[in-house]
Amino acid sequence: MDIMKIPRILLSAGSSGSGKTLITCGILQALKNRKMKVASFKCGPDYIDPMFHSRVIGTKSRNLDTFFFGPEITRHLLYKNAVDADIAVMEGVMGYYDGVAGTTTQASAYDLAVTTDTPTILIINSKGMSVSLAAYIKGFLQYRENSMINGIILNQMSPMLYPRMKALIEEELHVDVVGYVPRLNDCIIESRHLGLVLPEEIEGLQNTLERLALKLEKSLDFDAILKIAQQAPEVSDPFEDSQVKSRLNPAFSKRLPEEMRIGYAKDAAFCFFYEDNFDLMRQMGAELIPFSPLTDEKLPSNLDGILLYGGYPELHGKELQENASMRKSVHDAVVNGMPCLAECGGFMYLHKEMQGADGVYYQMTDVIDGKVHRTDSLKRFGYITLHEKEDHQLGDVRAHEFHYYESDCCGSDFCAQKPKSNRGWECIHRTEHLLAGYPHVHYYANPEWIWQFFEKCLLYHENKENV
């Protein structure tokens, strides 16, 4: 089994809103400025934070999610995506110990740190605290016997107070304080209803990131941060053992007998992707062809299947409606039997009508005879496990939902179950060639999900060839 030294750190915090994403992006930029090759990861299922990481480092950021994958696949994805990097940087999610069901540490940043044996630097929002910071940090250090916390960054800390707080914390708690971040009024990333705005929407983002990196170079001890990263032990790739790979799921080793042309929607309306999903699909033999429901007149030629992922279609309702030729192209393809897999925003696009963010209802592709309307709160938010109601070939499929919009036609071919809860619901439309619903699925959680779709694409391709 291949073993490799990957210097790495996990940046986490006591709670959401503590500045993780901003500070992570600043550190990534500073490391890039030092000519280091950086691999970045987001803990959990979030799509948007990795977009910011990617904008900084110039290569695609990835997700590491221990609810989706379990320990072996998590370590494989770390190894696979950091194999040529000088350092790997992971960004945590929510509070450091906050995990599944709000009552466990499963799938928390702490769980990822333990699973990947990664030293953690805890970001503390110190606004309004001084000596109480020591008590706050002590709780995190002692809550678990092996907390994995090797360093502290004090965010929103006064430069005048910092030297005294650093000395107090290090003397009393025996943990390194590796710097502070002052209040940064000119380096703010805005947010909106689904989280952060997209990188492309922020004017002068690169200049903001450069300013941020310069500020952090002055207030953080990068030598100490890199020393912590170097303390991470070697990493092995479980997938180097074919028996382990097969045990986890035989579909990981499956490959199509010939390359299938799979179109996937990619533009400002449809932009939520897991890059490792793309890698796995190509490994299985798919040629991925991007197209834009916003600007292209029709689907690419000679497709064997269509993928419609999530994003912000509600912000582009008018443009999607006005592109009538594309709507007709998608409608005709799916109605005439082309396999289609759609989730969340892509699922919304398949409806007859969708209410835009402006409150107006717009015509969509009319594959699903239903309407999508906006609500004032998150619907069915969080992790779920999907179970087929009839076929049962897939087994359990771990997924997640995150949407403010609701459909009057969500589907009923799967049951979704919340982990460690009695709450569940019906979801997803499944026919011979359509699989569409709100849940987001990472294919490494269960590669049979995408493999069965490819089998439909292969059958469609063969039938098309025989016509």
Nearest by Cα to 219 from 177, 171, 186:
177
Under 8 Å between Cβ of 423 and 448:
no
Amino acid sitting at position 259: E
Amino acid (1-letter code) at residue 210: E
Distances (CA, A) of 232 to 39, 117, 192, 253, 458: 15, 7, 36, 30, 44
Q: Tell me, what amino acid is at 1?
A: M
Q: 381: number of CA atoms within 13 Å, CB side?
A: 9
Distance between CA atoms of residues 229 and 119, nearest Å: 7
Residues in CB range of 265: below 8 A, 6 or more apart: 290, 291, 292, 293, 306, 307, 308, 309, 346, 349
Radius of gyration of the chain (CA): 23
Burial class (CB within 10 angstroms; exposed 0-12, middle 13-18, buried 19+) of 80 = middle
Active-site position among 187, 271, 344, 427: 344
Q: Is 72 helix (H, G, I), strand (E, B) or coil?
A: helix
Question: Residue 129: which of 155, 94, 93, 163 has the closest Cα?
Answer: 155
Q: Does the annotation mark 25 as catalytic?
A: no
Please name the residues in contact with 329: beta carbons below 8 A apart, sequence gap of 6 or more: 297, 298, 299
**How far apart are the C-alpha atoms of 5 and 83, rounded to whole Å?**
9
Distance in angstroms (rounded) separating the CA atoms of residues 151 and 225: 8
3-class SS of residue 14: coil
Of 436, 440, 435, 410, the C-alpha closest to 425 is 410
Separation between Cα atoms, residue 87 and residue 27, nearest integer Å: 12
**Which residues are CB-neighbours of 392 under 8 A, at least 6 positions away?**
none
Read off the amino acid at residue 202: I
In what helix (H) or strand (E) does residue 132 lie, and over which residues does it extend? helix 132-143
Query: Active-site positions?
Result: 344
